[in-house]
Amino acid sequence: MPSRRRSRVIMVYQHRLQESRYELKYIIAEHRAAEVRDFIRSYLVPDEHADPQAGNSYPVQSLYLDSPALDLFRGTICGLRNRLKLRIRFYDDDPAHPVFFEIKRRLSDVIQKERACVRREAVGLLLRGIRPGATFLASPDNRAKSAAALQTIYRTSLELNARGTAYICYRREAYVSPDSDQLRVTFDRGITAARYTATPYLVTPKATVPIDMRDVVLEIKFTDRFPNWLRQMVHAMNLWRCPMAKYIAGIRTIGYPWIERIGMDSGVAL
């Protein structure tokens, strides 16, 4: 019988994807996060993949890919309305567990995401500019859609000459609608970053640098309309939307030699 932890990890890869959605972000203090949690639990339930013993949270690690000149980083801080990010997301260091190849696009105010759940062996191929075939898909669900996403991600990576750039790691506390995937509310804490160094397997970096943020990143993600009860909560608690792109914050934290020359005050998020 698989362990409880292993079962939870596997379930993460089966989570339904909000392929097209709106995202609202807020940076809030811990006491405010507790108030938000207390309020939303009248409407939402903890994410089934989260660990109740860890405050309904789970670890998230992402390896972001970018061009040698960090074109995706620059596109965000320069405020391009239509932009994208490439990343490989994983939840533990077990080489037997799959990972997600993801492409996340912002088209004006809408976030669109494609992803493919693949075996870990596909990571090395993508990072060397080699197309991983459909045989590397790890999930039996939606294989046609996953194969199309894999092709899109590979083609975009090739066009950018993308390479591993930065790890972004944090813990996510998540709540979802009990009967649909139309609404998701998350609290992200303990965000850290590290430059990418090649390893035989994709693993959590041992040495990461904390992003200078003591507060919590609250994200509200919805596919249709902003629910009235959430709108009322935001108004009653006096929450203000703000930009928070973890990849951008991570690059600024770990530093690259030329970053200071391109201006660091943009407040654009993806």
Q: Which domain holds residue 146?
A: 19-262
**In the predicted structure, residue 13 carries a pLDDT above the cut 70:** no
- Residue 170 placed within a domain: yes
pTM for the model stands at: 0.88
| Averaged pLDDT, 245-251 | 93
**In the predicted structure, residue 79 carries a pLDDT above the cut 50:** yes
Query: How far apart are the two ends of the chain, measured CA to CA in Å?
Result: 40
- The CATH number of the domain holding residue 245 is 3.20.100.30
Closest CA to 172 of 44, 63, 33: 33
- Residue 10 placed within a domain: no
pLDDT at 18: 58
- DSSP H or E stretch at residue 236: helix 228-236
Taking only Cα atoms into account, the Rg of the chain, rounded to an integer number of angstroms, comes to 18
- Residue 57 placed within a domain: yes
From the centroid of its chain, how far is CA 144?
23
- Residue 129 placed within a domain: yes
**In the predicted structure, residue 4 carries a pLDDT above the cut 70:** no
Beta strand spans in the chain (E): 20-28, 45-46, 57-66, 82-90, 99-107, 110-118, 163-176, 183-195, 209-210, 216-222
Q: How confident is the model at residue 1 (pLDDT cuts 50, 70, 90)?
A: very low
- Residue 131 placed within a domain: yes
Q: How far apart are CA 228 and CA 226, in angstroms?
A: 6
Looking at the chain, the whole-number percentage of residues with pLDDT higher than 90 is 65
- Encoded amino acid at 60, one letter: V
pLDDT digits (tens, 9 = 90+) for 135-156: 999 987 788 999 999 999 999 9
Average pLDDT over the chain reads: 87
In contact, 185 and 211? CB cutoff 8 Å: no
- Residue 11 placed within a domain: no
- Residue 12 placed within a domain: no
pLDDT at 179: 85
Q: How far apart are CA 42 and CA 159, in angstroms?
A: 46
- Residue 8 placed within a domain: no
- Total domains present in the chain: 1
pLDDT at 259: 54
pLDDT digits (tens, 9 = 90+) for 119-140: 999 999 999 999 999 999 998 7
